[in-house]
Structure 1
């Protein structure tokens, strides 16, 4: 279907955002379960509740337009969430929270771009109440992003220190193995 007007584009943006929010609602519990930090887990739980309210706002806006909020699946969010899920699965426990934050911030930035665009369209089309609701959501996304940035400052340092500690243990174990191998080799030479 060809989009012929700004209003049609606006509705498509709303539907895309609605799909994104529905996907996030399904993904956040997995991120909460995977997180190790109580602060991160709490922030994600809080954002899950906010996300449900944001989806309800989109439903309200779409109802006022006489449109259904559900349409095609948001492929951008699907990709961002899949990448985030893969990243979290593929990292060591010591850096998992840092990976969760990285994935969550990508999601937040995608949403901020979408909500900023939808709000602008609503303003241009004269939908002041919808624009206000979209602005509220945009501000919530910015707050969530800032919370994640604040958590990252602490948790990324912990991940760095844990990584250094793990590298040191690996180096130490490697050195011990190397020393044992040298002793074993020299014993073998003496016996020959």
Structure 2
């Protein structure tokens, strides 16, 4: 697709976030199964559910704009997913508490990519006067921020990092 307008970039970025979410969902599920800490595991399961819901919303937006959601492959998320598997699911991590501590930054890196994507898309939709799109994307952005804050709370006030440090 030629990039000749903000709308062209917007549509391309819709496809990119769909690809990113599609790639991150399986590894988030794997991280949730690997986590020992109950709060961490539940947060990852909820995060996976949020990604799934976001995929459905992005797919609807793509369909409404007459584009295929799967026309783009997000290389950025591809790298983050590889890193999450290497650093969060590695067999080299033998202590479950250390694994839990390693899972959090891997998850948050993927979430921060999604935050950048949803934030940019919401801004584009607002600028383009796509009010319905903007509302959907803002909801996805807000829910993604909630998941990120929850993960930070688990790392800072929960027992994960405390257990890994002992």
TM-score (norm 2): 0.93
2:98 aligned partner? 95
Q: Deviations over 1:26-53 (max 9, x none)?
A: 2122111211111111111111112111
1:159 aligns with 2:164: yes
CA distance in structure 2 between the aligned counterparts of 1:72 and 1:116, rounded to whole angstroms: 19
Of Structure 1 and Structure 2, which has the larger fraction of its residues in helix?
1
SS of residue paired to 1:121: helix
Aligned pairs for 1:33-182 (under 5 A) are 33-88=33-88, 89=90, 90-93=92-95, 94-153=97-156, 154=158, 155-161=160-166
Whole-Å separation in 2 of the counterparts to 1:8 and 1:129: 18
CA distance in structure 2 between the partners assigned to 1:117 and 1:36 by the alignment: 34
Take 2:21 and 2:12, find their aligned partners in 1: how far apart are those partners?
Answer: 14
Q: 1:2, CA displacement in angstroms?
A: 3.6
The answer on whether the counterparts of 2:50 and 2:144 sit within 8 Å (CA) in structure 1 is: no
Moved over 4 A (4+): none
Point out the structure with max Rg over C-alpha. Answer: 1
Secondary structure, counterpart of 1:36 in structure 2: coil
Structure 2 residues not aligned, in runs of 5+:
none
Cα displacement (A) at 1:4: 1.3
Say whether the 8 Å CA contact 2:12–2:72 is kept in structure 1: no
Inter-partner Cα distance in structure 1 for 2:27 and 2:84: 10
- TM-fit CA distance, 1:116: 0.5
Q: Which moved more, 1:27-36 or 1:112-121?
A: 27-36
Q: Which one scores higher on RCO, CA 8 angstroms, separation ≥ 6? A: 2
Is the partner of 1:70 in helix, strand or coil? helix
Structure 1 counterpart of 2:10: 10
* Distance (Å, rounded) in 1 between the aligned partners of 2:71 and 2:94: 37
Return the alpha-carbon distance in structure 2 between the equivalents of residues 63 and 80 of structure 1: 27
TM-score for both structures, normalised by structure 1: 0.80
